[in-house]
Amino acid sequence: MKNPTAEELLQGILARDPRYTVEAYAFVRAGLDYTVRRLEKPRHVSGQELLDGIREFALSEFGPMTKTVLNGWGIKRTEDVGEIVFNMVENGLLGKTEKDSRADFANGYDFDEAFRKPFRPRDAGRLS
């Protein structure tokens, strides 16, 4: 019996947990790669480091549409990122340490603050 490919593993995840799209998984993986590339030297990143990297990556990729794009893929809060990460971990697509847990992604940041606030006018409501 041959080992399943990454694509086959991902299809199995999607069949068992349809909350997130294939794009959500690809995005989280790309966000992890982005985060690791920003380090001085490659190493394991914590949940909070990954969330910070994903925020930067998402804003650079999607700008003011970030929250809309992520929501469309099923990512509505930082806990969703953790669910995606651990779905990938449990299926051998990512690794983890003994210290890593889903709780690392709880209450990481508010999506409105992270993805909408940077694009709001600073003096909204103020007349010149």
Model pLDDT, residue 122:
82
pLDDT score for 55:
98
pLDDT of res. 19: 98
Residue 19 and residue 37: Cα distance in Å, rounded? Answer: 28
- Whether the per-residue pLDDT at 86 is higher than 90: the answer is yes
3-class secondary structure, 41: coil
pLDDT value at residue 124: 55
Q: Alpha helix (H) ranges present in the chain?
A: 6-16, 22-37, 47-62, 66-72, 78-90, 111-115
**Average pLDDT in the chain:** 94
Angle at 12 between CA 8 and CA 16, to 5 degrees: 170
pLDDT band at 125 (very low <50, low <70, confident <90, very high): low
Give the per-residue pLDDT at 101.
97
Does residue 126 have a pLDDT over 60?
A: no
* 9-38 pLDDT per residue, tens: 999 999 999 999 999 999 999 999 999 999
State the pLDDT at residue 1.
Answer: 72
Domain boundaries, the chain: 6-12+20-117
* Model pLDDT for residues 92-109, shown as the tens digit of each residue: 999 999 999 999 999 999
Work out the pLDDT band at 2, boundaries 50, 70, 90. Answer: confident
**Buried b / exposed e along 3-42 (16+ C-beta atoms within 10 A):** eeeeeebbeebbeeeeebeeebbebbbebbebbbeeeeee
Residue type, 31: G
